[in-house]
Amino acid sequence: MGNQLLNIIGITGSPATGKKSIGKIVADNLKYKFLDLNKIALESGGVLSDDGEDLEVDPDLLRKQVLRKIKGGKVVLVGHLLPFILSEGEIEFVAVLRCSPKELNARYSKRGYSEKKIKDNISSEILDICFTEALNSFGPAIIAEFDTTERQPNDVAEDIALVWRGNMKRSLGKINWISQMSKEDLIEKYLD
């Protein structure tokens, strides 16, 4: 694939970090097409199971559908599954959205997530799972992290475009939620 897929911007991160809202703004501002991996999976029949809490997808089928839809470039592709669908050399830039566990807890509660789903997703954010998966799939050269905790989607979208264009320094590996939490909160609320 390589250079054939230039002008593909990926946005990944834990649920409720702002992927869709920020991704739509980035796409609109750049005049790119917006694609949501979850929506593609649902529309293509790539969902293997849906227990109401989580979707299990067929990554091979989803990859085929995505490659078809992004052909020609100028696409903003969003979803936490991004590192499992594309790899290094197939995407130009990846923004990893991050959000504080306390804020995510509030967002998940507002969405009506179960206690288990809240704990699982917050644990993943604390342990940098989405960031690590992106790093492993795409390498450090094309990734940047963006903290969405107390920021408006328009501001984050603007920063993504600035970093992508090389007009703003990339932040990589600087977000560390563990250092901002008490040991008791970590163990009692999220990591037991």
pLDDT (tens digit per residue) in 146-177:
999 999 999 999 999 999 999 999 989 888 88
Query: pLDDT at position 50, please?
Result: 60
pLDDT in tens, 68-125: 999 888 999 999 999 999 998 899 999 999 999 999 999 999 999 999 889 999 999 9
pLDDT at 188: 60
C-alpha atoms less than 13 angstroms from C-alpha of 37 in its C-beta half-sphere? 28
What is the residue extent of each domain of the chain?
A: 2-190
In terms of pTM, does the model score above 0.85?
Answer: yes
Kindly state which CATH superfamily the domain 2-190 is placed in: P-loop containing nucleotide triphosphate hydrolases (3.40.50.300)
Tokens for 188, please give them. Answer: 């009692």
Taking the alpha carbons at both ends of the chain, their separation in whole angstroms is 42
pLDDT at 70: 92
Buried/exposed 105-133: b ≥16 CB within 10 Å, e otherwise: bebbeeeebeeebbbbbbbbbbebbbbeb
Q: What percent of the chain has pLDDT over 90?
A: 65
**Contacts within 8 Å (CB) and 24+ apart, 169-172:** 170/143, 170/144, 171/144, 171/145, 171/146, 172/140, 172/143, 172/144, 172/145
Hey, is 12 helix, strand or coil?
strand
29: region left, alpha or beta (phi > 0 left; psi from -120 to 50 alpha): alpha
The pLDDT assigned to 96 comes to 98
Confidence (pLDDT) at 3: 41
Question: Nearest 5 degrees, angle CA 72-CA 75-CA 77?
Answer: 130
φ, ψ dihedrals at 26, nearest 5°: -60, -45
Which amino acid belongs to residue 98? Answer: R
**pLDDT for position 180:** 76
Instruction: Give the pLDDT score at 179.
Output: 76
pLDDT: is 50 or 179 the higher one?
179
pLDDT at 182: 66
Residue 112 in tokens: 């009506």
98 close to 17: Cβ distance less than 8 angstroms: yes
Give burial (CB, 10 Å; 0-12/13-18/19+) of 68.
exposed
